[in-house]
Amino acid sequence: MPDIDIKKIVASLENGIFRENINGYYEYLRMLNRSEKTVRWYVTDTLLFLQYIEKENEHKSLTAIDKNDIRDFIALERTRGITRRSLIRRLSGIKGFFRYLMKKGIIEDSTGLLQMQMPRAKKPLPKVASQEDIVGLLSEAFADSELDKRNSAILSFLYGTGARVSELVSLNTGDVDFRTGVVRLKGKGNKARIVPTGSFVLDKLKIWIDTRKAQCDAVFTTLSGRRLSDRHIRNIVYAAVRRALIKVPASPHTMRHSFATHMLDNGIDIRVLQEMLGHVSLSTTQVYTHVTKERLRRAYDRYHPHAE
């Protein structure tokens, strides 16, 4: 076992069939080349469930366990304050265990265990900076150095196009059409899309490209001409936020979230925004409508004299 605590829990199981099969489950997960972390969590979660079964009904066999047992276990875990995300992981581990038992022919899929629906994790709303903070960040007086011109272009590009960090670092000079004011972004799955952008982005891009000494295909590079990495971009954003002395979440993805939310605030059609962001599903884009509603609610509660 990868963890001494897991060994202790296995040893604490009184049912020899439980012990034998949880060890088999461990070997099965390792054979699937799952990460050590995943193996540890899945085995530990299943052990906790089997401990619960022993405590509730010490004579219950593996074949007699049904989905009501799992539901009762999950309900008990909820009363202990286990997070929704952890509950989903617990269910994944337990269902994986019964899938293993099915492959071994120990149980049949007659209990409906594998068809149980897991609770959906509630995703937190994206963090969004105010329009005033973004304006403050972009208008911060940068020095005339080559690096400052590059960093200013990076900040403007992130907010002006809603690009992902990976899309920014893979950008080539041939992907920017200064005449028509559009850029070509290569998104997830290597899918390309065309995104319009404003002169405040194109002007800073042109200044950076014309200023830099290294000539290469990549738009955003080090001074020696090497393409920047994701980490480079994150560090540049963090430093710019600290330098501007504004209260804005310091993350390149926050710039993308802010781009989307501000576009919705100003009336863009959500399907157009979906295309600009490169989302396959409209439901992914719709999360920004919730952000906008939350912002409206906070504004109402703050400014209406009878809001409370």
The predicted pLDDT at position 159 comes to 95
Q: What percent of the chain has pLDDT over 70?
A: 87
Q: What average pLDDT does range 175-193 have in this prediction?
A: 91
Residues 6+ apart with CB under 8 A from 148: 142
pLDDT digits (tens, 9 = 90+) for 70-112: 888 888 888 788 888 888 889 889 989 988 988 888 887 655 6
More confident residue, 56 or 155: 155
Rounded to two decimals, the pTM is 0.61
**Is residue 306 among the annotated active site residues?**
no
Give the residue among 61, 69, 62, 66 at the shortest CA–CA distance from 110: 66
The predicted pLDDT at position 108 comes to 77
Question: Any bridge partners for residue 199, and if so which?
Answer: none
Say which residue the tokens 């405040």 belong to.
200
Q: What average pLDDT does range 4-12 have in this prediction?
A: 63
Say which residue the tokens 């954003």 belong to.
237
CATH hierarchy code of domain 4-115: 1.10.150.130
Catalytic residue among 193, 232, 253, 295: 253
**Is residue 78 among the annotated active site residues?**
no
Catalytic residue among 89, 164, 257, 262: 164
**Is residue 164 among the annotated active site residues?**
yes
Q: What average pLDDT does range 32-53 have in this prediction?
A: 87
The predicted pLDDT at position 308 comes to 54
The predicted pLDDT at position 27 comes to 87
The predicted pLDDT at position 171 comes to 96
Where residue 2 falls among pLDDT bands split at 50, 70, 90?
A: very low
Catalytic residue among 186, 204, 256, 257: 256
Question: Any bridge partners for residue 194, and if so which?
Answer: 184
**Is residue 304 among the annotated active site residues?**
no
Q: With a cut of 80, say whether residue 273 has pLDDT above it.
A: yes
Where residue 1 falls among pLDDT bands split at 50, 70, 90?
A: very low
Helix axes 270-277, 282-303, angle to 10 degrees: 120
**Is residue 256 among the annotated active site residues?**
yes
The predicted pLDDT at position 8 comes to 66
Please tell me the distance from the alpha carbon of residue 146 to that of residue 225, in angstroms, as a whole number. Answer: 12
HEC secondary structure over the chain:
CCCHHHHHHHHHCCCHHHHHHHHHHHHHHHHCCCCHHHHHHHHHHHHHHHHHHHHHCCCCCHHHCCHHHHHHHHHHHHHCCCCHHHHHHHHHHHHHHHHHHHHCCCCCCCCCHHHCCCCCCCCCCCCCCCHHHHHHHHCCCCCCCHHHHHHHHHHHHHHHHCCCHHHHHCCEHHHEECCCCEEEEECHHHCEEEEECCHHHHHHHHHHHHHCCCCCCECCECCCCCECCHHHHHHHHHHHHHHHCCCCCCCHHHHHHHHHHHHHHCCCCHHHHHHHHCCCCHHHHHHHHHHHHHHHHHHHHHHCCCCC
The predicted pLDDT at position 307 comes to 53
CB 222 within 8 Å of CB 156: no
Residues 6+ apart with CB under 8 A from 10: 1, 19, 22, 23, 47
Catalytic residue among 34, 60, 227, 279: 279
pLDDT digits (tens, 9 = 90+) for 109-154: 655 667 777 656 566 777 888 888 898 888 875 667 899 999 999 9
Q: With a cut of 50, say whether residue 253 has pLDDT above it.
A: yes
**Is residue 159 among the annotated active site residues?**
no
CB 201 within 8 Å of CB 255: no
CB 286 within 8 Å of CB 125: no
The predicted pLDDT at position 229 comes to 94
Residue 143's alpha-carbon distances to 160, 202, 212, 248, in angstroms, are 21, 19, 15, 22
The predicted pLDDT at position 4 comes to 41
Let me know if domain 131-303 sits in CATH 3.20.20.80. Answer: no
Catalytic residue among 188, 271, 297, 298: 188
Domain ranges of the chain: 4-115, 131-303
